[in-house]
Structure 1
Amino acid sequence: MKEFFEFFSFADANIRYVTLGSVLLASSSAVVGCFTLLRKRALVGDAVAHAVLPGVCLAFILSGTKNPFILLIGAFVTGWLSLVAIDFITSRSRIKEDTAIGLVLSVFFGIGILLLTSIQHSGNAAQSGLDKFLFGKAASLVGEDLITFSVVAVLLLIAVILYYKELTLLCFDQAYARTIGFPVRGLELLLTTLTVFAVVVGIQAVGVVLMAAMLITPAAAARFWTENLKVMLVLAAFMGAFSGIAGAFVSYTAPAMPTGPWIVLIVSMIAILSFALAPRRGWIARILRQRRNKTRILEENLLKLLFQLGELRQDYEASRSLDDLLERRSIPPKQALRGLQKLKRQGYLKKENQRWLLTTEGEKRGRRVVRLHRLWELYLTQYLNLASDHVHEDAETIEHIITPELEQKLLEELNYPDLDPHSARIP
């Protein structure tokens, strides 16, 4: 607890620099990463992150100083050139974007390693610490770094706010944006520039190796929680900021632990939890939804089966045994029994002497499933010209997902028919 209060009191200037710097870097890159993710260009961040290394080295060689602003200018130039190179290769050749990214990434990173090695053997005493751009060194951030990063982070956020509508349209409907006169090429260059800025501003914290994770991971995690882009941007920024604070705190309490990798590790843990626990798109929600759908399909199949058996003698109140049902449809006995018991609890069935019969509500629901099945069969034969003996399997699936609105539309399109393609009455 002592370390906790010492850290969050921010009395130590170094703690303030590292924490605020990490928060700014993580949140600003996460916001830009949302647009990169939605544009399906997640690997671009990795290419830019590796391509900035030669720019950092060239800036140091030409200036002879480790001034963060000068190094960031060099990183920005080569990072931006890498994206231009990727676009040039994909537009002027048959090489696909993922291959072009791999080529540019490896070439630029190879040049950067050569330049870094040359600097390290040059005997220049000022070169100490340049290798931190490979793996990051957030714990070494000082006031001068913080000012530079703050300016870049604020510029990124201002650009996103000012061009939010245009960037949104670019991500979701580029063709429409071009049709209504938006400068699509200019917007692509703007997003490219923002992406490069976001990567450049984060490499000193997490390094070129891990920067792609800071750009994409918060955005991917936020995407699981919402369908609204504004909410996604806020969530991604919050996740990035939290991971920045948490990474700095872990590094403070365990000095041997590097800040940058811990930031990436924490945001990755947040992403894993999001992938699993998000209420609509998460793994658990998807599994539960699939299980509910399977249960509903089983219930509707049982009700449909009881209704069809009642159709044979126009006696919907007759009771049926489990064996009677299994003779007509292949359902595992235990699964069928669970379904029947659940329908009884819901009030759709009654049980008398180990036999099952429809209630009034059960008859209505069974009639509707049969009606949807036969309407869809008729629609397929009339509008898609399918043979009547080829439509049953498709109708078996579709009958469970047709909404009341679509049911009404089918009735209108088919002119309220009485018979299905097999001359069976449509209830």
Structure 2
Amino acid sequence: MSLLALLSDYTLQNVAIGAALLGLVSGVLGSFAVLRKQSLLGDTLSHAALPGVCLGFIIGGGRHMGSILAGALITGALAALVMLLLTRMSRLKTDAALGISLSVFFAVGVVLLSYLQGGSNASQGGLDAFLFGQAAATLRSDLWIMGGVSVFALALVTALWKEFKLVSFDTQFAATLGLPVAWLEALMTVMIALAVVVGLQMVGVVLMAAMIIAPAVAARQWAHRLESMVLLAAVFGIIGGVSGAMISALARGLATGPLIILSLSSVVIVSLMFAPGRGFVWEILKLKRDRRQLRYQQVLTTLYRLASHHSDPGYRLDQGMVDAYHRTNTKRALERLMRRGLVTLTTPPSHEPGQRKQWVLTAEGCREAERILDSLGQEASA
């Protein structure tokens, strides 16, 4: 199939647009969940949406997307409010409250799903697809609903940007300014439920947690400000969603939802590895550089201390003596110090036949060693 024919495919267009909308809203709203250290919130709300899907099916009398998504939003928001009440009205920590909400609501959802599957209503067939998503079944009417929810969520974030930003970083300061912190936290939590609602058709209940968290985690590695983090998270979400949909279209038989999550996971892995200043690769290189620098400083201060002990700035040291002192080969460190002009290699006196060349501190090396020792002394005293 040519690229033009692929792009003109009706099903692919629906899936790609839906995945882009999902990535956009998940990236924006998930950023606040990550910053508030509530990464499990997406998992809880996505599982809590299952009973809402079943109740929406029962009330609507069939697989009407509007009623199903409304039911998912209600139960997801209810689970979020239960979590908030448990943390505020009891001694439970956030992770325990999230676990309780997740388990109870998901258990209710499984019971309702089993009940519906045992019934005589033929339209319940495929209702369990909401567990893992069924992107290929996305219709244009579904896209309008997803788009409306996404626009509403983004408009709310824009309108309350300063308040959400302050509550995410410093709730106590926000409270001193008179902001309704509890209501703002509840609203942000309900908005995560909105993102879950958008993604039910695409990736399903089980995988939706990764969709909420992955774009924000990847963006956090690159960004130093909330504005840039939210923007990058939205971009990463769109890229992951669309690329997953395209891969699913090219490789027939592969589920779209898991491929979207795998695409986002690839973005997260690349970000964790190579993000400037925070990536694992840069941390490893920095650690090696710091270790080398420490070794150079240790060798230099050793030469200085020995010269000071013998009251001889030109005190000569054999390579073997330096190695024995540090219990390792210091040749590379000494050669680097020599390239920097801090030490020099001298020929031993004529009355010491058979001696190898010896290392001697230069005047610049003495000053550098004194500076290092002074800074270490100041750090110790502080």
Partner of 2:378: 375
Q: Distance in 2 between matches of 1:280 and 1:258?
A: 36
Deviation, structure 1 residue 202: 0.6
CA contact (8 A) 2:216 2:230 kept: yes
The Cα RMSD (Å) is 1.7
Aligned-partner SS, 1:204? coil
Same amino acid, percent of matched pairs: 38
CA contact (8 A) 1:60 1:66 kept: yes
Residue segments in structure 1 that go unaligned for 5+ positions in a row? 381-427
In the TM superposition, structure 1's runs of 4+ consecutive aligned residues that sit over 4 Å from their partners are none
Deviation, structure 1 residue 125: 2.2
Q: Distance in 1 between matches of 2:68 and 2:256?
A: 21
Partner of 1:333: 328
CA contact (8 A) 1:27 1:238 kept: yes
Q: Deviations over 1:231-285 (max 9, x none)?
A: 2112211111111111111111122011111000111121112111222111111
Q: Distance in 1 between matches of 2:301 and 2:346?
A: 19
Deviation, structure 1 residue 357: 2.0
CA contact (8 A) 2:80 2:190 kept: no
CA contact (8 A) 1:29 1:198 kept: yes
Residue type of the partner of 1:145? D
CA contact (8 A) 1:3 1:253 kept: no
Task: Say yes or no: does 1:365 pair with 2:364.
Answer: no
Partner of 1:262: 259
Q: How does 1:135-174 map to 2 (within 5 A)?
A: 135-174=132-171
Partner of 2:197: 200
Deviation, structure 1 residue 56: 1.1
Residue type of the partner of 1:227? H
Q: How does 1:217-256 map to 2 (within 5 A)?
A: 217-256=214-253
Partner of 1:388: none
The structure with higher relative contact order (CA 8 Å, sep 6+) is 2
Q: How does 1:48-197 map to 2 (within 5 A)?
A: 48-197=45-194
Task: Say yes or no: does 1:320 pair with 2:317.
Answer: yes
Query: Which stretch of the first structure deviates more once superposed, 36-45 or 297-306?
Result: 297-306
Partner of 2:345: 351
Query: Which stretch of the first structure deviates more once superposed, 91-100 or 171-180?
Result: 91-100
Aligned-partner SS, 1:357? strand
Q: Distance in 2 between matches of 1:376 and 1:40?
A: 33
Deviation, structure 1 residue 314: 4.2
Partner of 1:307: 304
Partner of 1:25: 22
Residue type of the partner of 1:371? D
Equivalent residue pairs, number? 373
Deviation, structure 1 residue 313: 4.3
Residue type of the partner of 2:365? G
Q: Distance in 2 between matches of 1:376 and 1:314?
A: 26
Partner of 2:354: none
Deviation, structure 1 residue 218: 1.2
Q: Distance in 1 between matches of 2:147 and 2:272?
A: 31
Length-normalised TM-score, structure 1: 0.83
Aligned-partner SS, 1:42? coil
Deviation, structure 1 residue 90: 2.4
Aligned-partner SS, 1:333? coil
